[in-house]
Amino acid sequence: MVGSAIARRLDREDCEILKVPRAEVDLRRQAEVEDWLAANKPDAVVLCAATVGGILANQTRPAEFIYDNTVIETNIIHSAYRVGVQKLLFMGSACIYPRDAEQPMAEEALLTGPLEPTNQWYAIAKIAGIKMCQAYRQQYGCDFISAQPNNLYGPYDNFDLASSHVIPALMVKAHQAKLGKSNGLEIWGTGTPKREFLHVDDLADAAVHLLKIYSDEIQINIGTGEEVTIAELARLIADTVGFEGDVRFDKSKPDGAPRKLLDVRRMKGLDWEAEIALADGLAETYRWYLENVAEV
């Protein structure tokens, strides 16, 4: 989802985009990454490849999340240094901040307290990536930067209920409930956690902006600055899909972090703000789902 959005956004820039399919280069294999970067010598690298998933996937597949992500970023960052990549943008995640960080969470909150247990494995890997960019900048003078988006959604999201994030999951469930294929809309947890959602096209625009103008150590937050409860989100999605029936809460499922609102003042100071309103982004994502994924 993130890679394709960044490629769509880069189509509007004066640059040549180099892509390689997963079947040709497995980013977990150091030699394959080194060989590809040495043969292609890109000027810039956007490191957004990762093993990602929603709260349940993070909780039940901790080894995959910590192994895949640390090894992917280690291979790419080190090889990018070796072949002389001029700019690298590493994509982190809002879950790098402590569970009880003061809200909204400023960049300075990094490593000031314990992490949210459900996604600590992913968060540790992402923190390692940020620290690698800082270390390679300090020791070798590499212009490697990092950014932390909040919960993303949009076209090419993962709509598989076992591994997806909340927006695609509730979209599928509301759609199936509307068609009478299930008994109402089931929401995991209590519905009280608050989340900030960022459309992936806004993230792509922010990424290109940072590639052009930002060159420093500190990781930059990318969000909208606005949050909703999961219960409010479920209502919005039900309205988007046109489902009018019952909503119920499965409290045996985890809530995760109570709040995860990013402080986006630094990004605003760099003359960038998110533009896509949640209701509009949900409507567009639902259209994409109907055209590309849904069984009618």
Among 9, 165, 175, 199, binds ligand GFB (CB under 6 A): 165
- Using CB under 6 A as the binding rule, whether residue 54 contacts ligand GFB is answered as yes
**Closest distance of CB 13 from ligand GFB, Å:** 27
On whether the CB atoms of residues 154 and 281 are closer than 8 A, the answer is yes
Between the two ends of the chain, the Cα-to-Cα distance in Å is 23
DSSP codes, 25-88: --TT-HHHHHHHHHHH--SEEEE-------HHHHHH-HHHHHHHHHHHHHHHHHHHHHHT-SEE
Known active-site residue 153: no
d(CA 153, CA 156): 9
Nearest to 22 by CA among 56, 53, 83, 68: 68
**Closest distance of CB 63 from ligand GFB, Å:** 15
> How many residues contact ligand GFB, by CB under 6 A?
24
Token couple for 149: 């988006």
**Closest distance of CB 37 from ligand GFB, Å:** 27
Among 81, 188, 214, 272, binds ligand GFB (CB under 6 A): 188
- Using CB under 6 A as the binding rule, whether residue 93 contacts ligand GFB is answered as yes
- Using CB under 6 A as the binding rule, whether residue 169 contacts ligand GFB is answered as yes
Q: What secondary structure letter does DSSP report for 116?
A: P
Residue entry with tokens 């960038």: 272
Among 122, 144, 214, 243, binds ligand GFB (CB under 6 A): 122
39 CB contacts (<8 Å, ≥6 apart)? none
On whether the CB atoms of residues 219 and 134 are closer than 8 A, the answer is no
**Closest distance of CB 53 from ligand GFB, Å:** 7
118/224 with CB nearer ligand GFB: 118
Among 51, 58, 70, 219, binds ligand GFB (CB under 6 A): 58
- Using CB under 6 A as the binding rule, whether residue 232 contacts ligand GFB is answered as no
Among 75, 134, 151, 224, binds ligand GFB (CB under 6 A): 151
The catalytic residue among 67, 81, 97, 122 is: 122
- Using CB under 6 A as the binding rule, whether residue 95 contacts ligand GFB is answered as yes
Phi/psi class of residue 228: alpha, beta or left (left: φ > 0; alpha: ψ in -120 to 50)? beta
Stretch that binds ligand GFB, among 54-62, 81-89, 210-218, 275-283 (CB under 6 A): 54-62
Q: Which residues sit at the interface with ligand GFB, rule CB under 6 A?
A: 54-55, 58, 93, 95, 118-119, 122, 151, 164-166, 169-170, 187-189, 193, 195, 230, 253-256
